[in-house]
Structure formats: C-alpha cells, structure tokens
Amino acid sequence: MEEDRPHTNLPTKTLGLDADLQKKHQAMLDRLSNRHQARLDTSLARRSDSANSSESTSSFLSRFSASKQSIDSQLADSRLIATSDPSRLRSHFANISSSISDLEKLVAENSYFLPSYEVRSSLKTISDLKQNLEILNSELIPKKKFSFKNKATAKKELPKEPEPIKPDTVSVSNFKLPNSPGFRNKTNETLVKKLRGTEIGEFTLSDLESCEVRLIGCCNAVFMNRLKNCKVYMGPVIGSILIEEVEGCVFVLASHQIRIHLAKSCDFYLRVRSRPIIEDSNVVRFAPYCLDYEGIEMDLEKAGLSEETGNWGNVDDFKWLRAVQSPNWCVLPENERVGKVRTEDIGS
C-alpha cells in the first residue's frame, strides 16, 4: 500500500511551477492587452488627425478663395481707376502686390497640413495673379515717351514719371518678412540658436553674408531672404520654409514644404514631405538631409519627418513646364556631397 501514498515534496514543487507559469501567462496577457490598447489609441488619434486636417483644409480653402476674389476685384477696378484718377494707379498696384504677398504667406503657413495638390494649385493661382498684375501695370502705366517740347506752350514742366514696376521687382520688393525672432544684417559670423524648450514659432534669416547658421530643435516656419555665401544647418521645421534671393549658399533643411525663389549656385540637402518648389532659380543642386545632433531623432519625430520620402530629388520648377528635365537644377553627385554633418563638428 506504500505505493499509493503521495510523495510529500511533489505538491509543493507542482504548485511552485504552476504559480510561475500563471505569472508568465498573466504577463503575456497584459502585454497583449497593452499592445491592443495602444493600437486602438493610435487608430483613434489618426482618425482625429484626419478629421482635424480635413476641417483645417476646408477653412484654408475658404480664406484663400475670399482673398483671391478680393484681389480679382481690385485687378478689375484698375481700368476704371486709370480712366477716372490715373494718379492713384501706383498706390493701387502696390496694394494689390501686398495682398498677393499676404496670400502667398497664407499658403506657406498652412502648407504643412495641406494635400500636395492643394499647395500646387494655390501656388499656380498666385503665379497667375502676379502675371495679371504685371500685364495691367505694363499696359496702364507705360514708359514715358520721348517728345520735343514747344517752348511757347511748355509753361510748367511735369514731374518725371518713374519706370513701370517689373514683375520680378514686384514680387521681390514686396517679400514680407515677419517680425519674428531671427538673425539679421550679419557678416562673417557664426550664429547659433537652440530652439528646443522655447516658444519660438517662426524664425527669420535676413541679409546675411558669409555666415554659418546653426538652428537646433524644432520651430513652425522659417523665412530666409538675401543670403550670400552662407551655410545654414537647421533642425526640422514643422510647417514650411520660404527662401528668396540666395546665392552661393549651402542649406541643410528638413520641412513639410520648401519653396525656393531666386536662388543661384546653391546646394540643398533636404528631407521634405512634399516636392520642393523652385522658381526663377538656376545652378541649384539637391541631395538628402545629412544633419545630426543629439536629440535629432526626437525632433524629426515631433515634426512628422522621421521617414525619408525621397522627395529631395523630386523638384518642381515652376518656370519649366516642358516634359523634359529642367536645366535649372540637378542631383548633387555623391562624390561632391559633404557626408554626415554633426553640430559638434561644424565650424571646427
């Protein structure tokens, strides 16, 4: 009968094993539950973001349409003003040009959530408005014609009429830089700004020559105007970057949208969600983003730029409408690229 007697140590060991298995099993269930909940939260967040983006796009299109109608109305009034009060034409055209610049800024500030086709359509509309303004300006304010004076009748000499405004001059002279933090009017300086932990939304670089600029961290938008022989190394931008009148520069930039106007002999190292846009530019070259600093991965994630899209090489040239490759830009050859750029190495 001793064979039927239970072993005293067996239940304790079995209970110990069962408890360990139960703990492991419960831990596995908890992990699966947490993973499932995380997926649900992500899905709900994406739906919310999609809804918010749709509402924001609708609001933008409404504002854009209202502004365009106002500008169209001002353009239509130009001929009436030319007939009734020609002296008002110059100020009238200046107001229209300012309104077009405001409309362009509206697109730039909202481009980070707009679908790419809406951005391209809006920029095409702005280009058409500028062209219409140019045509009216040339037609209604013609150059003063040469004529011989009749000394007997010429009692009063009329003031000399200035030259009509050319289209490029209209767009450049009315490029409005926001009154935001930034670096302005510097030469041969190293300019460093740490944006992380600040409340800076927009940042401006203007009238810089032979400077090295380092912006570490994220901001919402960046505006650059009149840079020459500069190097600009910049952390990710949540919204858009506007660049105007630059020459002989190197830019290392990451953003949702990048628009470049009047650039000459510049290299751009980009990570960009939409296709980069160039206009009135030549001898510009493009390569992938190559900046590195402590915490950049977190900044790229925050800006929604953690993934490389390859759009750095898909450049739209708004002044080249043919099917063949634009002669104004090219891909920067690999043997001429700077390689990985680390902030601790910059300027050393």
What pLDDT score does 318 carry? 83
Please check whether residue 133 is in contact with residue 75, taking contact to mean a CB–CB distance below 8 angstroms. yes
- Residue 2, exposed/middle/buried by CB under 10 A (0-12, 13-18, 19+)? exposed
Domain range annotation of the chain: 57-140, 182-342
Residue 8's contacts (CB-CB under 8 Å, 6 or more residues apart) are: none
Q: What is the pLDDT of residue 160?
A: 47
Tell me what pLDDT residue 173 has. Answer: 40
Length of the chain: 348
What's the pLDDT score for residue 228? 96
Q: What is the pLDDT of residue 339?
A: 84
* pLDDT tens-digit readout, 117-171: 787 788 888 888 888 888 888 878 766 554 445 544 444 444 444 444 333 333 3
**Is 57-140 a CATH 1.20.58 domain?**
yes
Query: What CATH number is given for 182-342 in this structure?
Result: 2.160.20.70
CA distance 346 to 239: 25
In this structure, how many other beta carbons lie within 10 angstroms of the beta carbon of residue 148?
Answer: 6
CB 220 within 8 A of CB 242: no
Q: What is the pTM of this model?
A: 0.55
**Residue 231 is encoded by which pair of tokens?**
């190097």
The dihedral built from the CA positions of residue 84, 85, 90 and 94, taken in this order, carries a sign that is: negative
Tell me the pLDDT of the chain (348 aa) as tens digits.
444 555 545 555 555 556 667 777 677 777 777 776 776 666 565 555 555 556 778 888 888 889 888 998 888 888 788 777 888 888 888 888 888 888 888 887 777 677 777 877 888 888 888 888 888 888 787 665 544 455 444 444 444 444 443 333 333 344 566 678 899 999 999 999 988 877 778 899 999 999 999 999 998 889 999 999 999 999 999 888 999 999 999 999 999 989 999 999 999 999 998 889 999 999 999 999 999 998 999 999 988 898 888 899 989 888 777 767 889 999 999 999 988 888 765 544
